[in-house]
Structure 1
Amino acid sequence: MRDIRLFVFILFTSTSILSSQSLYELQKEFIDLRFGVFFHFGIMTFTGDPWATPHQDISKFNPADLDCNQWADAASKAKMKFAILTTKHHDGFCLWDSKYTEYDVASTPWKNGKGDALREFVDAFRKKGIEPCFYYSVWDNTHGIGNKEINRDDIEFIKGQLTELLTNYGKIKLLFIDGWSWKMGHRAVPYDEIRELVKKLQPECLLIDNTHIPELYHNDLIHFETAVKCPADNRLPGMQSMLINKSGGNDWFWSPDVATAPLLTADEILESLDYLEKRWSVFVLNCPPNNKGLIDSSIVERLSEIGEKWEPDFNRPPLPETNTVIEHPVVIKSAEAESGNADFAVDGINDRYYYSYWESDSTLPQSIIFDLGKNYDLIQFGYLPKYTPVVQPDNDGSITSYVLYASKDKIDFDKIAEGNWMGDHRMKVIRFPAVSARYLKLVVNSAVNNRAIITEALAGKKK
């Protein structure tokens, strides 16, 4: 980067047109890819510094033999159909020349600062007919984004870098965001604003945030990370990630011991593929490139072995449709309730080791009012029941009877929906005729164990 701008003005061309495919069609198309590869590759590969270390010595980044064609060939032999590359991890180092920072490949000795790892990646994989996808961390430990209160400059920084990624490298089928919900939350960095940008730039790009919530809460696909396994009864579009190396590595990145580390056997990988395929979840296998810019020979051989043994099941039924998707979300700005900490229901912060939630006292009926900040034409409302570590949904406090009201001024409320829900742990979403409102009031008439618990409240607007 050589010049920081707080506002980016872009002439949106053909990528700005509306997608001709529905979200369900895009989800179904991606799930039918079945098998993909994850490449964690960045400054940690070269320094050996711990996960998320800021201000690493980027002069060490110099993958002299970088060959994304080797990566793509190995993935192709395994019959993988998509590939995800870490464009920027939590440390903040960018694999492309970003005009928003000098902490990027342009400031390294690699190719005299003229290299672009993303360009080499997308070109190599497209030549093999494999869909290139991007990972991007919102948490940036070098620039301090996520380590303090988020300000407007931080949001514009994030949007500027996402704009670079989604306008300079052609069609990107999936954007995988991390360090967001579990680090700073979807309110501090507003999910609706980021989602609208992504869908404006690339309407057919699916969006994942690593929320550690096994529901379609602010997600086009659910991510099941390593030990958190796709449940046996899953009927939602999902993605299971796993490391190919059983030991060694620098977190998800390469370290010298990966070259001799025991790997998942072909049979273990085939077993996962079979299990996940039947549950409409793609399988993405992390295969970290080394500091020469190549995949170690042991991993290449294992991928080839998988390809010789595995065949997709094209008789699998199509992805089931669901009514729990909020395609055009509105981030709720604040909440107030008769008891408990209502803000926990709208902070958008969830981690596998920590979940905040609003919990009422045992005096029901009881209400909670949500402020959306301004009037919207609303058509949906939903909520996530209780979660506890590690990624454990719980039916304690699940709402079983409710009435929903809407208002423009928080004085006069009109009833827009009422009904009953199963007292289970699944996310609940209701749809109603469009109503212009800034405030929603949920009256809880009854709940499991006679108290209401909401991990996150959700609202959806008209397109």
Structure 2
Amino acid sequence: MKKNQFFRAFALLLLLTAGAATAQQRSLHDLQQQFVDLRFGMFIHFNIPTFMDDDWADPDASPAIFNPKKLDCNQWAEAAKSANMSYGCLTTKHHSGFAIWNTKTTDYNVMNSPLKRDVVKEYTQAFRAKGLKVMLYYSILDTHHKIRPGQITKADIDMIKAQLTELLSNYGEIAALIIDGWDAPWSRISYDDVPFSEIYGLIKHLQPNCLVMDLNAAKYPTEALFYTDIKSYEQGAGQHISTNNNRLPALSCLPINGSWFWKADFPTTPVKDVNRLVNENIVPFNKAWCNFILNVAPNRDGLIDNNALETLKQVGKQWKNEGPVATLPANAAPIISSNIAKHQPANSSWSDDMNLMDFANDDNFRSSWVSNPAVKQPWFEIAFDKEKEFNMITIVEDQQRIQKYRLEYNENGAWKPIVSENENAGRVKIHRFPRVWGNKVRILIDEFSAPPAIAEFGVYNEKGR
């Protein structure tokens, strides 16, 4: 299908699914609790990279290579049950853009492969038949359809919306959607290029109880839910949850083999050790409100290898799902709107040349504005080109140093208070307040334990408040 046809397809799908949001909506905290209560699940990386030797598949690979002649999603579900898992999550579309469902948005899909079967449909049916919850994985980055940094068009966004509409309309209740390839340092597709708030709103419209999880832990701080309902940690990428300090609903993922998609040596190479899977992953993570998802990659026949099957059985013998975990602490609502302070003109009190004010709103949490030690009352300011409305400010410190501060905005040349004499012990500070209009916003720092270092100062206009 040509790109100029995507919008028409998407509009039609919205009409057909206008009643999809009729299910009773549960609170986000309840949904997060239900997610961590699931404890343990199966990630299933199965897509066109399965039939290649690289997880990052050739975007021009022919659908003809996708030919799992013995595909049996029931085997996958039985394997998950043998390990006492509670759910599965299937890669509906990975970074190279091949869709393994019967999509109307592109010809680059499973129905044009030798298989000619809707894998998403067979997976959802098989897992539900075993009493397992169903989740889906979807990649925003799509190298086949040229959805990549610097090339995003309206037609691309329409295609993404149309594909998500299909996935959330045609396959029953989806407990969570795991999104990848979006606003990560390696994908470089920002939440402005593909607007996060629009995608998030569409998902919640179609399925109000579907959790949205973006795999963005490579960029965003661990102490708050930036653009995700669940905090995620990819162990192979060096992302490790603190089981002592975490208080957010979380997910940690790891492949049972050496990579995500099947490789020819998988059947003869040892998989992860059962004791380590149980005692270093499932058990400690569950105590820290973290769900563990273990990737088990089907082979080119569409079946899970025997060594992985046996390990899953052994996990099931050693670990039993005891039901709900401890009550999840209350936490701030996810940040889903655009940061209007990003890359705007900034000013500040004295700082060294290597730590200038621009580093506090450069969309990089690994760089910081640092106040010069001689400054007794540091301040930092964002200036807009015109008066803007906003109702939330976030402050992310490099290290926790600020002890007392005030937030103000400038309206018609006068500074007015937003937050006065604030004491906040956390490294990440989130302030939501009644909407104001101003052309500047600033933080005045009154007390600190060492020269303040602000990694990111964010300003947002959250809709619906």
Tell me whether the two structures share a fold, i.e. TM-score over 0.5.
yes
Query: Which of 42-51 and 121-130 deviates more?
Result: 42-51
Residue 351 of structure 2 is matched in structure 1 by: none
Residue 266 of structure 1 is matched in structure 2 by: 274
For 2:251, which of 229, 232, 239 is the aligned residue? 239
Residue 122 of structure 2 is matched in structure 1 by: 120
| Paired letter, 1:274 | V
CA deviation string 1:401-459 (max 9, x = no partner): 3333346x7755532223435465x3211233x22437661323255643442336253
Residue 13 of structure 1 is matched in structure 2 by: 18
d(CA) in 1 for partners of 2:362, 2:158: 20
- 1:50 Cα deviation from its structure 2 partner: 4.8
For 1:285, which of 294, 317, 323 is the aligned residue? 294
Residue 394 of structure 2 is matched in structure 1 by: 382
CA deviation string 1:275-311 (max 9, x = no partner): 1111110010000010100111111111112112212
Indicate if the aligned counterparts of 1:91 and 1:140 stay in contact, CA closer than 8 A. yes
**Percent identical:** 34
d(CA) in 2 for partners of 1:458, 1:71: 45
Aligned: 1:94 with 2:99: yes
d(CA) in 2 for partners of 1:195, 1:456: 23
Indicate if the aligned counterparts of 2:270 and 2:307 stay in contact, CA closer than 8 A. no
Query: Which of 308-317 and 368-377 deviates more?
Result: 368-377
For 1:222, which of 220, 231, 234 is the aligned residue? 231
For 2:132, which of 126, 130, 133 is the aligned residue? 130
d(CA) in 2 for partners of 1:150, 1:456: 26
- 1:66 Cα deviation from its structure 2 partner: 0.8
| Paired letter, 2:429 | K
d(CA) in 2 for partners of 1:280, 1:292: 36
| Structure 2: runs of 5+ lacking an equivalent | 349-354
- 1:327 Cα deviation from its structure 2 partner: 5.9
d(CA) in 2 for partners of 1:296, 1:237: 32
- 1:196 Cα deviation from its structure 2 partner: 1.1
TM-score in terms of structure 1 length: 0.85
Aligned: 1:403 with 2:393: no
Aligned: 1:312 with 2:321: yes
| Paired letter, 1:241 | C
For 1:154, which of 147, 153, 156 is the aligned residue? 156
| Paired letter, 1:83 | G
CA deviation string 1:183-238 (max 9, x = no partner): 22223222212111111111111111111232311211111111422202212111
Indicate if the aligned counterparts of 1:47 and 1:57 stay in contact, CA closer than 8 A. no
Indicate if the aligned counterparts of 2:396 and 2:457 stay in contact, CA closer than 8 A. yes
Count of matched residue positions in the alignment of Structure 1 and Structure 2: 437
d(CA) in 2 for partners of 1:333, 1:174: 30
- 1:242 Cα deviation from its structure 2 partner: 1.0
| Structure 1: runs of 5+ lacking an equivalent | 350-354, 387-393
1:203–1:316 Cα change, 3 Å: closer
Match of 1:189, SS?
coil
Match of 1:54, SS?
coil
Aligned: 1:367 with 2:369: no
1:82–1:438 Cα change, 3 Å: farther
d(CA) in 1 for partners of 2:101, 2:135: 15
1:451–1:315 Cα change, 3 Å: closer
| Paired letter, 1:46 | F
| Root-mean-square deviation over aligned CA pairs | 2.8
Residue 443 of structure 2 is matched in structure 1 by: 443
